[in-house]
Structure 1
Amino acid sequence: MAEAVRGFPAAGARAAIGEVLKRELEGVQYQGDRMAELGRAVGAQINERLAAEAGLERYKFVTSVTIFQNTGQGAHMGCTAVWDPAADVALQETFTSDSIRCVAAVFAVCVY
């Protein structure tokens, strides 16, 4: 996903996303009937964390969190939606444990 956007601290934002994923998902066992609710909660935590990060005050965030059971299968996810390539960015971070795999895609849209 896009990395080089003028003024957007992609490395810091990606680290913040990774911290939320680890905090919220470490030790969680896959339970199919509660993963949708957990995904919504993790997405809300990511949005709150990014909104509080210094340097991201002018951005709105759209976050998609997908959680699925980790049974050793391979999986790839890709997406992009950049409305203004000079200001907007898409980031992706993955969390994996013995039980689950989670992919969080975040679209950061600059508010002019």
Structure 2
Amino acid sequence: MIVLFILAGSSIVLSLMFGAVKVGFSEVTSIVAGNHQAPSHSIIWNIRLPRVLIAGLVGMGMALSGTILQGVLCNPMADPHVIGVYQVQASSWSIPNIGNGLFQQLLSEPLVPVL
């Protein structure tokens, strides 16, 4: 368990370090510790750290939903493909996207002659 925490912490630090702008390990630790004068302060706090935290929350949510699915069905091999949840997810994704495309098309066509 300790190894997993070490790996998680190191992946968080590495994801804060690497990107379009490279930030060194010492600079990341000083920014997280509270150094507001560092040049990469806004990159870490406004862009990279929220992405890392949201990715962790999404991963925890997926793990929790899988655990609940396996617990409710009393099936340790419960898989979304076997149960049919995957097809519902695909249709729930495609309907708003198709509707959004039609909605944008209806809105943009009357405005074209005006522009």
Q: Please confirm whether the aligned pair reaches a TM-score higher than 0.5, indicating the same fold.
A: no
Higher relative contact order (CA 8 A, sep 6+): 1
In our comparison, the structure showing a higher alpha carbon Rg is: 2
Normalised by the size of structure 1, how large is the TM-score?
0.29
Normalised by the size of structure 2, how large is the TM-score?
0.28
Q: Which protein has the bigger helix share?
A: 2
Q: Which protein has the bigger strand share?
A: 1
